[in-house]
Amino acid sequence: MNTGLNSSEPLLRVEGVTLQYQTGQRLIRAAYRVSFSVLRSDRFVILGPSGCGKSTILKAVGGYVEPIEGRILLDGTAINSPGPDRVFVFQEFDQLLPWKTVRENIVFALVAGKRLQRSEAVERAEHFLGKVNLTNFADSHPHTLSGGMKQRVAIARALAMEPRMLLMDEPFAALDALTRVRMQEELLELWEETKSTILFVTHSIPEAIRLGNRILLLSAHPGQVKAELNCPGTGESDGVARMLATRIEELLFDRKIEEGGVHA
Total interface residues for another protein by CB under 8 A: 24
Q: Does 120 bind another protein (CB under 8 A)?
A: no
Q: Residue 39 or residue 97: which is nearer to another protein going by CB?
A: 97
Residue of 35, 77, 144, 146 interacting with another protein (CB under 8 A): 144
Binders of another protein among residues 92 to 111 (CB under 8 A) are 92, 94-95, 97-99, 108-109
Stretch that binds another protein, among 10-18, 89-97, 236-244, 254-262 (CB under 8 A): 89-97
- Residue 18 near residue 29, CB atoms below 8 Å: yes
**90 phi and psi angles, rounded to 5 deg:** -95, 170
Q: Does 185 bind another protein (CB under 8 A)?
A: no
Residue type, 62: G
d(CA 92, CA 98): 13
CB of 119 to another protein, least distance (A): 19
CB atoms within 10 A of CB 27: 8
- 176-185 long-range contacts (CB < 8 A, ≥24 apart) are 179/147, 179/148, 180/207, 182/148, 183/148, 183/151, 183/152, 184/210, 184/211
Q: Are strands 43-47 and 69-74 parallel, antiparallel or unpaired?
A: unpaired
Q: Does 83 bind another protein (CB under 8 A)?
A: yes
Residue of 88, 128, 137, 200 interacting with another protein (CB under 8 A): 88
CB atoms within 10 A of CB 92: 14
| Helix 118-131 and helix 102-112, axial crossing angle in degrees, nearest 10 | 130
Q: Residue 147 or residue 233: which is nearer to another protein going by CB?
A: 147
User: x-or-dash pattern for another protein, window 52-81, by CB under 8 A?
Assistant: ----------x-x-----------------
CB of 148 to another protein, least distance (A): 17
Q: Does 84 bind another protein (CB under 8 A)?
A: yes
Q: State the residues that interact with another protein by CB under 8 A.
A: 62, 64, 82-84, 86-88, 90, 92, 94-95, 97-99, 108-109, 112-113, 115, 141-144
